[in-house]
Chains A and B, each alone.
Chain A
Amino acid sequence: MPRNRSGGLAALSSTVRRTPPRHFPARKPSPLKRRLVVGVLAAVSLALITGYFRESESGPLHDAQSVASSAMHPFEVGAERIARPFRDAYGWLNDLFNAREENERLKAQIELLTSQAIQNSTAATELKRLEALLDYRGSDTFPGDYDAFGAAVIVDPPSRFEQWIVIAAGSKDGVRENAPVITDEGLVGRVTKVMRDQSRVTLLTDKESAASAYDIRTEAVGVIRHGAGSGDALILDRVPKEERIRRNDVVVTSGRRFGLLPSIYPRNIPIGIVTSVGQTDIDEHQQIQVEPFVDFSSLDSVLVLVRKTPEPDLP
């Protein structure tokens, strides 16, 4: 019976072919090389951060970013167009799940808008009369002092906690920092960063955003800002307790900040509807929750307002 010993091969000092590994080859770069690479990249990143912070908006890094973002622009637009049907389908399914609640909300909104339309008609007539009588000058009325142009939304808010979007309009289109941004439904936010072809718009639902606003029915003025909880709910803050705010009251921009300083937002841009009013003994102001008219989760295009007259100086 033949013996099958593999030891003979070893004695001949021959080579044996090992079965190639199935996994990926574990070729390791030298420690010096890889440390050098990561060190250089980290140093470049830190240099970018430092340089970006120290330079002005027209500095070379901002310019480079502007050029790079312009180069990415067509890809973003293309991807957005490809994804649009899927996003619409997702939105449709989402709406379907929320249809009942949405239906009730829309019914209430129709009733509100109907009565609001009548009020608006009356208010417009009254306004004309007052303007004629008091030589009222609507220095920030829309559209008198503003030009408006449309811009597509190309980047949605990155997360619930970073409430800003990027729009396909920049300095070459005449967009300026702090320009108000609206839709046909109401106030969206303001431009906070301007590049050549694109701009960043910080939404009203961002924690950094605030606008002076007033209740149309009572004319009580407050500050509209993001609520403490999650979602798109806003609160109308700093309204004294003696003001009789009611549910379903409509809130619009006041066009002025506290004091008599002009706001960056024009007057009478719709913001939302009051959903609840509360008071506590320890708080000197009311707790007023406002549901915005704008659906911030599905912004496709917006209107950017550009003031015809010089911008007001912000202190």
Chain B
Amino acid sequence: MFADAFKAAVLLFLAVVVQATIMGSISILGGSPDLVLVLLLVIALLRGSIYGALGGFWAGFLLDTAYLGTLGVTSLLLTLAGYWIGRYGETTGRDRAHAPFLSVAVATVLLAAGELALHFLLGERVEARASLVDAMPATLLLNLLLTLPVYALVRRLLAPERALDRAAEIPIVG
């Protein structure tokens, strides 16, 4: 468990560095891919709500640090996003093929709306049209394109716990 948590933390750290230095400068059709969000959602989906919440807080803190933004803003949003998708994975979504794509699509839209609302509440100048309409289709598409490779990578790195497989033995009462 701790090894997985460490792997997830390192993955998120690397994703934040890549996001801040590379992904941010990629602009295709007005949108930019959000590697950190996709990675967080995949981890949450595969590992559950606690991983999602902790990973979201960690990734948000790193992003706020890298961008010198207001500490806590991105942490709050990603904590909630990770927790919510983690719950989806724990309940219904984990074994469904469309779950990663559905999670990324929904979370991308909701995160953009959440960011907008939070920055508005903090008294910062925001433009709903710019982030929710102009950039959203391209960002959504790019995030969905990232989902499959990221999902495959994370599934490979965070392997199933063998100890839990043994619990599949059940008594049959005659």
Interface residue ranges, A against B (CB under 8 Å)? 9-21, 23-29, 33-34, 37-38, 41-42, 44-53, 61, 64-65, 68-69, 72, 75-76, 79-80, 83, 86-87, 90, 154-161, 166, 193, 195, 198, 200, 207-208, 230, 297
**Per-residue interface assignment for chain B, residues 65 to 103, with 1 indicating a CB less than 8 Å from any chain A CB and 0 otherwise:** 111101111011001100100010010001100000000
Q: How far is the CB of A21 from chain B (nearest CB, A)?
A: 7
Cα A10 to Cα B20 in complex, Å, equals 60
- Do the beta carbons of B170 and A18 come within 8 Å of each other? yes
Task: Known contacts A25-B160, A37-B50, A159-B24; decide if A49 and B17 are in contact (CB<8 Å).
Answer: no
- Do the beta carbons of A155 and B67 come within 8 Å of each other? yes
Task: Known contacts A26-B94, A68-B65; decide if A49 and B70 are in contact (CB<8 Å).
Answer: yes
- Do the beta carbons of A155 and B21 come within 8 Å of each other? yes
Residues of B within 8 A of A29 (CB): 48-50
Residues of A within 8 A of B104 (CB): none
Q: How far is the CB of A161 from chain B (nearest CB, A)?
A: 4
Residues of B within 8 A of A17 (CB): 168-169
Task: Known contacts A25-B160, A90-B26; decide if A154 and B21 are in contact (CB<8 Å).
Answer: yes
- Do the beta carbons of B125 and A87 come within 8 Å of each other? no
Task: Known contacts A18-B168, A83-B21, A158-B67; decide if A42 and B76 are in contact (CB<8 Å).
Answer: yes
Q: How far is the CB of A228 from chain B (nearest CB, A)?
A: 11
- Do the beta carbons of A34 and B50 come within 8 Å of each other? yes
- Do the beta carbons of B68 and A23 come within 8 Å of each other? no
The reply on B152 being an interface residue by CB < 8 A is no
Q: How far is the CB of B112 from chain A (nearest CB, A)?
A: 10
- Do the beta carbons of B24 and A10 come within 8 Å of each other? no
- Do the beta carbons of B22 and A28 come within 8 Å of each other? no
Interface residue ranges, B against A (CB under 8 Å)? 13, 16-18, 20-22, 24-27, 30, 32, 46-50, 53-54, 56-57, 60-62, 64-68, 70-73, 75-76, 79-80, 83, 87, 90, 94-95, 122, 125, 127, 130-131, 134-135, 160-161, 164-165, 167-174
- Do the beta carbons of B22 and A23 come within 8 Å of each other? no
Residue of A nearest to B25 (CB): A156
- Do the beta carbons of A208 and B76 come within 8 Å of each other? no
- Do the beta carbons of B130 and A45 come within 8 Å of each other? no
- Do the beta carbons of A207 and B25 come within 8 Å of each other? no
Task: Known contacts A9-B172, A12-B174, A41-B54; decide if A160 and B70 are in contact (CB<8 Å).
Answer: no
- Do the beta carbons of B172 and A13 come within 8 Å of each other? yes
Of the A-B pairs whose beta carbons lie under 8 Å apart in the complex, a sample of 18, sorted by A's number, is A10-B173, A16-B172, A21-B165, A21-B168, A23-B95, A24-B46, A34-B48, A34-B87, A37-B53, A42-B76, A42-B80, A46-B76, A48-B75, A72-B16, A79-B20, A159-B131, A160-B134, A166-B67
- Do the beta carbons of B174 and A10 come within 8 Å of each other? yes
Residue of A nearest to B45 (CB): A24
Cα A33 to Cα B49 in complex, Å, equals 10
Cα A155 to Cα B25 in complex, Å, equals 8
Cα A297 to Cα B22 in complex, Å, equals 12
Cα A285 to Cα B145 in complex, Å, equals 46
Q: How far is the CB of A246 from chain B (nearest CB, A)?
A: 32
Q: How far is the CB of A196 from chain B (nearest CB, A)?
A: 11
- Do the beta carbons of B125 and A207 come within 8 Å of each other? yes
- Do the beta carbons of A160 and B130 come within 8 Å of each other? yes
- Do the beta carbons of A158 and B24 come within 8 Å of each other? yes
- Do the beta carbons of A38 and B71 come within 8 Å of each other? no
Residues of B within 8 A of A37 (CB): 49-50, 53-54
Residue of B nearest to A157 (CB): B24
Cα A200 to Cα B164 in complex, Å, equals 48
Known: A15-B171, A41-B54, A297-B25; 14 extra A-B contacts, CB below 8 A, are A10-B173, A13-B172, A19-B168, A29-B49, A38-B49, A38-B53, A38-B79, A69-B66, A86-B22, A158-B24, A159-B24, A160-B130, A160-B134, A195-B68
Cα A155 to Cα B71 in complex, Å, equals 17
